Amino acid sequence: MNRRLTVLTLTAAAMLALSACSGDPNGGASGDGGSSDQTVAEACTQVNDVMTEATAGLQDIDPSDPAGAASALRTISDGMGDAAASVTNAEVSDILPDLQTAFSSAADTMEAVAGGETERAAELNDSISDVQTSFQRFTELCGTE
């Protein structure tokens, strides 16, 4: 497979995998995960709102545009950082650094690919796997679908 096709394929796979990251937190647990008054459900809703807003544009990204994908991933990473700063529930705030790191890594890789480092496209598989693993932890806690 030539490099351009590999980049396009992996970009499309990333878009598909990451566009599933917006869900409905209605199934989330409630309760106090730490010393704050914020419930798990409230924290999950807050994070899900960030995820929904940030991932809304992923479906419209052209798979042949790694720069656009990198920008969308960076927006998600930044949103996770903002959420981490404002979520006070310990259970939810414990998973946010992993989510932010996973999205940041995916954004870094896409930025490198967009900058011409097409040999780094294979790293997207690891980044996508990290995002999926981190998001799985979020869905297990928050009950998103």
Express each pLDDT in 5-25 by its tens digit. Answer: 555 556 655 655 555 554 444
Is there a domain that residue 78 lies in?
A: yes
Is it the case that residue 130 has pLDDT exceeding 80?
A: yes
Is there a domain that residue 111 lies in?
A: yes
Q: Taking the complete model, does pTM exceed 0.85, yes or no?
A: no
Q: What is the CA angle 84-85-89, rounded to 5? A: 65
| CB-based contact 39:31 (threshold 8 Å) | yes
pLDDT in the model for residue 123:
86
Count of domains forming the chain: 1
pLDDT in the model for residue 108:
92
Is there a domain that residue 55 lies in?
A: yes
Is there a domain that residue 31 lies in?
A: no
pLDDT in the model for residue 39:
93
State which residues form the domain around 66. Answer: 3-16+37-142
The rounded percent of the chain whose pLDDT value lies above 70 is 70
- Alpha carbon distances (Å) from 41 to 19, 47, 96, 110: 22, 10, 15, 32
Is there a domain that residue 109 lies in?
A: yes
